[in-house]
Amino acid sequence: MPTGMSEPLVQFDHVGFSHTAGVPILRDVTLACLHGQTTAIVGRSGAGKSTLLKLINRLLRPTSGAVRVQGRDTREWDPIRLRRSAGYVMQDAGLFPHMTVAENVGVVPRLEGWDEPRVQARSRELLELVGLPAAQYGTRRPAELSGGQRQRVGLARALAIDPPLLLMDEPFGALDPITRREMRVEFSRLRRQLGTTALLVTHDIAEALALGDQIGVMDAGELIALGSPEQLAQHADPRVRSLLATGLPPRSGPS
């Protein structure tokens, strides 16, 4: 890491975003993700959560303010390098249907020009890590896996070159409640084990509370609350309170 550990890995500085001539999708978002922390962004669909993620790996560029990764404005990064240093996990995994499980996990290492034995060793290691032994699952295609298994492969793929940052867009959104809980536990274990910095987007407040060291609440393109789970519980804003109410036990499951 070229910068000191005290500096945030990801920094949003008064960021706004709108499509050309459109209504603003993000308004004046300021946010910092510290090393080793998991930041969970929660909000209803259309609140601007996914847009926030896409601004980090420059799938989108801010229309005002600046997004900095490792202290550097994303607009100054080579987008390819930036994306490879940020593992990306999508809803429903987004696996490449024409590749085997092992090939999916090996995509980024191969893009990075690793030699073949190293790619394969890494694939095996990661598949073990997410509980899918390579001998049994490596040669299957995504279509032959269950939703939870696909999500694990998606996670393994995102972690393949050990990126400093993990971006997760509704990673467990397409799973049934039981598998979701399992995956949360799995993810918490992995994160502790690897010490990765993560930014997670979800519409499930329970998930955010379970996984996030820091939680941001988004509503209509604005970040209306930011803090630890405890701080959030004390929050006075009625919008935050109503959101908390929907997600607190007894659990409502995926909405």
Binding region for other proteins (CB under 8 A) = 57, 59, 79-84, 88, 90, 92, 94-100, 103, 107-108, 111, 157, 167
Give min distance, CB of 127 to other proteins, in A: 17
Q: Say how many C-beta atoms besides its own lie within 10 A of residue 151's C-beta.
A: 28
Per-residue DSSP letters for 44-96? -TTSSHHHHHHHHTTSS--SEEEEEETTEEGGGS-HHHHHHTEEEE-TTTT--
Are 17 and 26 contacting, i.e. CB atoms less than 8 angstroms apart?
yes
Quick one: 50 or 179, whose CB is closer to other proteins? 50
The backbone torsions φ and ψ at residue 151, rounded to the nearest 5 degrees and listed phi first, read -65, -40
Nearer to other proteins, 174 or 209 (CB): 174
> What are φ and ψ of residue 106, in 5° steps?
-85, 0
Query: For other proteins, which is the closer residue by CB, 168 or 226?
Result: 168
122 or 157, CB closer to other proteins? 157
Minimum gap (Å) between residue 168 Cβ and other proteins: 11
Taking the least distance from each CB to other proteins, the nearer of 9 and 53 is: 53
Q: Is the peptide bond before 250 cis (omega within 30 degrees of 0)?
A: yes
| Exposure letters 116-146 (e unless 16+ CB within 10 A, then b) | eeebbebbbebbebbebebeebbeeebeebe
* Least Å from the CB of residue 207 to other proteins: 21
Q: What are phi and psi of 5, to 5 degrees?
A: -70, -20
Please state the closest distance from residue 103 (CB atom) to other proteins, in A: 7
CB of 239 to other proteins, least distance (A): 30
Token pair in block for residue 90? 């999508």
**Looking at beta carbons only, is 111 or 178 nearer to other proteins?**
111
CB of 110 to other proteins, least distance (A): 9
Phi, psi (deg, nearest 5) at residue 178:
-70, -45
Return the biggest CA–CA distance within the chain. Answer: 56
Q: Please, what is the minimum distance in Å from the beta carbon of residue 57 to other proteins? A: 6
Q: Which is nearer to other proteins, 82 or 217 (CB)?
A: 82
Q: Which residues contact 255 (CB under 8 A, 6 or more apart)?
A: 203, 204, 246
Amino acid of residue 135: A
